Structure 1
Amino acid sequence: MIEILTPTELAHARGTGALVADILRTVRSRSTVGTSLLDIDRWAKDLIVEAEAQSCYVDYAPSFGRGPFGHYICTAVNDAVLHGLPHDYQLADGDLLTLDLAVSRNGIAADSAISFIVGDSAPAESVAMIEATERALHAGIAAAGPGGHVGDISHAIGSVLDEAGYPINTEFGGHGIGSTMHQDPHVSNTGRPGRGCPLRPGLLLALEPWVMADTAELVTDADGWTLRSATGCRTAHSEHTIAITEDGAEILTLPSAG
C-alpha cells in the first residue's frame, strides 16, 4: 500500500516526527558509559507514554522476526546494525550505539535512527562510517522531489556509500510510512535513477542508509531479531522520515526548538 497524506495528516506527521527526534535527542544525552540498554528502552517507553503516543515496535511481529518485538526502541551496539533487541548490556567507552525509534501519534507514524560513539573514545574508522551514512542520507533527501522516482533517491544514497568504500546490503532499506510504520515503496540503498515509484507530494518516506565496515552479509542473533555483520565488524545507521512536497523534500524527524 502506498499512501498519499492529506494536508491535515501531514501536519500530524510533522508533530510525530518532532516527537521522535526529541525522544532520540533525550535518550542519546542519557546514554553514557555504564548505561544499560534496558534503561534506554524504559526511558523511551516513558517518553512515548508521556506524549500520549504509541510505540510502533512493542507489538511489531513481521515474518522475518521472532515477534512480537516487545520493546520500545531498537538498540544496536557495535556489530549489530538493525532491529537491535534491548537486553542487559552496559555500554562501554568507545561503543558504537545505534538508536532506532518509530512512534505513532494522531494516526501517523514517523521513524528515525542515529548512530554515535559512547564515552570519550572515538575510533576514527567508526566516526568515518557514521559520517558516511549521514552524508548518504542527506544525498538521498536532496534527490527527493515531485516528478522524481524512488530510484533517484536510491542512486544518490548508493553513490555516497560506494564512494566511501562500503559494501551495500539490499535486503533491508528505507520504506514508505504513514498510518503504519512499514509501507510500500521499498527504498533500496542503491539503485538506478529514473526507476521505481514516482514521487508525489504527500508521500512519506523513511530513508535509512546503513552499512557494515567490510561485508554486506547479515546474521541473526539467537533472539530472532538483532541483525549483525557476518564478520563481526562495526556498523552504522542513519535515518530520517521525509515528506515529498511541491518544492522538494521536508525532513520531519528534526528536534523541536529548545
Structure 2
Amino acid sequence: MAIDIKTPEEIEAMRVACRLASEVLDYITPFVQPGVTTAELDRLCHRYIEEVQQAVAAPLNYPPGSPNPFPNAICTSVNHVVCHGIPNEKPLKEGDIVNLDITVQKDGWYGDTSRMFVVGNKPSILARRLVQVTYECLWLGIAAVRPGARLGDIGAAIERHAHHHGYSVVREYCGHGIGRRFHEEPQVLHYGKPGTGIELVPGMTFTIEPMINAGKAPTSVLADGWTVVTKDRSLSAQWEHTVLVTETGVEVLTTSVGCPKPPEIVRDRFGDGFIG
C-alpha cells in the first residue's frame, strides 16, 4: 500500500484530532493515583472523548469485523505490560508505572499518542530511570525526522540510546502511518541502521512509539489475544507522538497545554517547543 502524503487541508484536520488525543491525557492525569483502577481511567477517558470532545475512541471494537476486537476505549499497560493492555478492576499501587495510550477519531481523522505515568510519589530508581530514558528515546527518534532522512535513522537513534543505558528495544511492535485510517504505511521500526529504509518527504504523518524493556526484548501475548508482556516479566515503558514531516524538519502533532516538554537531551534543537 502506498504512503499517503497529506495536503495542507488534511494536515490541519489531523492537527485537530491529534490535539484532542493529547488533551485526553491532560484531562486524565490528575486521576492516575494509587487506588484507582485502569477500568475507571478507561471509563473517564471514554466519557470525555464522547461527551466533551464529540469524538470517537478509536481502539474500542478495533479492528472492525474482528472475532476478537479490542474491548475498551483506551489501552492501559502496567509495569511488565508492553502494550495493548486491557483495562481492568485491579487498583494501581504506589510505585506502579502505567502507559495510557489514546487514539481519537475526529471528523474521519485519527490522532494517536501515549504517555507514561508513575503512580504515587515513591517510584523505584529503576522505574524512574526506565521511564525517563524511554522518553529520551522517543525524542531522539523525533529529532531524526526531516526531509531526506530515512526511516532507519529514526530506529537507529532510538536503539543506540536504549542500548547505551543497558535496555532492550521491543522488535515485534512498531510505529505506523496514520491519517484517515488508524494504521497506514509506513511501518516505523524502533531499531535499524542509519541511511536505510524509506526516504522521508514533507506531508508524511506517522507515529513514533518506542517500547523499551528493562530486561530482555522478547515478548508474549496473553490469552486475551491483546495484552503484550515482557517474557522475563521485566518492566517496560512506552511513549508515543504522532509527527508530521515538514519542509524543514518535523512537527509534533499530538501536543496540548499539559504535554510534557522535550527532554534536555534534545533541548538544543527543540527548546521547549515542538517544531524543529
Pairwise TM-score range, normalised by the shorter structure: over 0.9
Deviating 4+ runs (over 3 angstroms): none
Match of 1:54 in 2: 56
One-letter amino acid of the structure 1 residue matched with residue 138 of structure 2: L
**Runs of 5+ consecutive residues of structure 1 not aligned to the other structure:** none
Query: Conserved in 1, the CA contact under 8 Å of 2:24 and 2:48?
Result: yes
Paired with 1:153 and 1:242, the residues of 2 have a C-alpha distance of: 12
Cross-structure match for 1:72: 73
Deviations 1:157-215 (A, max 9, x none): 11111111112221101111111111111111110111111111111010011111111
In the alignment, residue 62 of structure 2 is paired with which amino acid?
Y
In structure 2, distance between residues paired with 1:28 and 1:79: 21
Higher RCO (CA-CA < 8 Å; seq separation 6+): 1
8 Å CA contact 1:242–1:249 kept in 2: the answer is yes
Instruction: State the match for 1:131 in structure 2.
Output: 132
Alignment of 1:1-258 (within 5 A): 1=1, 2-50=3-51, 51-61=53-63, 67-256=68-257
| 5+ long unaligned stretches in structure 2 | 260-276
The alignment covers a number of residue pairs equal to 257
Confirm or deny: 8 A CA contact 1:23 1:44 kept in the other structure. Answer: yes
| Change in 2 beyond 3 A, CA 1:62/1:136 | farther
Kept in 1, the 8 Å contact 2:32–2:117? The answer is no
TM-superposition CA deviations, 1:112-134 (whole Å, max 9, x none): 11112101211111111111111
Shift of 1:151: 1.0
Amino acid at match of 2:162: L
In the TM superposition, residue 20 of structure 1 has moved relative to its aligned partner by 0.7
Between the aligned residues of both structures, percent identity stands at 35
Q: What letter corresponds to residue 130 of structure 2 in structure 1?
A: M
Amino acid at match of 2:29: R
How many Å separate the matches in 2 of 1:235 and 1:66?
A: 28
Question: Matched residue of 2:168: which SS?
Answer: coil
Shift of 1:40: 0.7
Counterparts of 1:231 and 1:85, CA distance in 2? 20
CA RMSD of aligned residues (A): 1.7
1:61: Cα distance to partner?
2.8
Q: Contact conserved, 1:148 with 1:194, CA < 8 A, in 2?
A: yes
Deviation at 1:88, TM superposition (A): 1.2
